[in-house]
A and B are shown apart, each in its own frame.
Chain A
Amino acid sequence: MKKSVSKKGRKDKIRNIKQKNAKSYTLRKYHLNVISANLFAMTLAIFFIRSYVSRGFSIWPVFLGLCAITAVFILLVVLVLKPRGKVKTLFPHRNLLIINFSISIIMSLIYIRQIGLLGFFFIIIFSFLLFDIEHVIYDNLQKAWADRRGSKLKGRVKK
């Protein structure tokens, strides 16, 4: 009896793990949004920094402004997520981070002559900020809104 239970339990565990893996590797709109936000932000930043440099602008004020915005954003998200115990969800999954950072670094290195070192860091931070915003929106806000929608529906059913 015990053996059959343990076998069943093991099978359930394996099934759960398989389901979890299948879920984590399924391409969803969230993944595409994070990746496309990174691509779009990186392209936009390269175009603008190139334009600033060619027009003789100093990038320092924009760079400092961007750093301030990024710091404020992270601080705000931490303040919101910490009471809910969700600080771990501040950044996307490691694989997604690696993909996005690699693309940004490679693309910025291609244009490093035209954008300079400061431009390089600007592009990395800018694209990180945008894809992280996208991640936070889709990973936390979407769930919260969906939950609220769900609870409203439940309320309607009860009535």
Chain B
Amino acid sequence: MMENLFSFSFSAIPVALGSIGRFIVENTLLCGVLFISYGLMYIYSFINNQSADSEVYEIDLLSSGLSTIMIAMLLIGIDESSKGFNLANFDISEPTTQIALFLLVYAFVMIALAFIKVLPQFLVVVFGNSELDFFINFTAILLTDTSVAVNGTMLVLIAVPLLTMLVVQRLRRAMG
């Protein structure tokens, strides 16, 4: 279920936190595996902060673009009315379908930019980091649960810790 993605209110934080917490508790194993998949990369980059292969390059843009395409393809049919993935029944007015289309366009742009290599390193880091990838994955997963109302407050709550982790990692890399 999806509400307004651009609405944020401090009063809605406890409800959003509760929803995320309940979702994680209900799907402990799967969420644990997802966190491990992200954690492995983070720890590696954190420890090997000076090695060349822990830096974000265009190759990471390509990799995250491809995984985003897969997410978009799975997401696009989730609110389809015929329940048979009939192209004629895809409702573009549905917010989930719109998000899936947006992700699809975003992914193609990322892949194109990875090959063209015109982005400055700063933007490559912004778009190619594993935190953004994890943010997209986790939000898409939340959208599969009908009992979770995804809104702007929830997105901010997911984004803030990830952004903090990214900043910490980049600072460590810059200082180390």
Judge if B62 is at the interface, Cβ distance under 8 Å: yes
With a CB–CB cut-off of 8 A, which chain B residues contact A32? Answer: 40-41, 44
Nearest-neighbour CB distance to chain A for B143, whole angstroms, equals 9
With a CB–CB cut-off of 8 A, which chain A residues contact B36? Answer: 39
Contact of A110 with B29 in the complex, beta carbons under 8 Å = yes
Judge if A124 is at the interface, Cβ distance under 8 Å: no
Contact of B67 with A51 in the complex, beta carbons under 8 Å = no
Judge if B140 is at the interface, Cβ distance under 8 Å: yes
Using C-beta atoms within 8 Å of the partner chain, give the interface range for chain B. 35 or more
With a CB–CB cut-off of 8 A, which chain B residues contact A45? Answer: 74
Residue of B nearest to A40 (CB): B37
Contact of B53 with A44 in the complex, beta carbons under 8 Å = no
The residue from B29, B53, B59, B144 contacting A50, defined by CB atoms under 8 A apart: B144
**Secondary structure of the A side of the interface?**
helix
Q: B residues engaging A (CB < 8 A)?
A: 27, 29-31, 33-34, 36-38, 40-41, 44-45, 53-54, 57-59, 62-63, 66-67, 70-71, 73-75, 77-78, 80, 83-85, 137, 140-141, 144-145
A contact residues, total (Cβ < 8 Å): 40
Nearest-neighbour CB distance to chain B for A56, whole angstroms, equals 6
Q: A residues engaging B (CB < 8 A)?
A: 27-30, 32-33, 35-37, 39-48, 50-52, 55-58, 61-62, 65, 107, 110, 126, 130, 133-134, 137-138, 141-142, 145
With a CB–CB cut-off of 8 A, which chain A residues contact B63? Answer: 33, 37, 133-134, 137-138
Contact of B85 with A27 in the complex, beta carbons under 8 Å = no
A57-B141 contact given A40-B34, A43-B33, CB 8 Å threshold: no
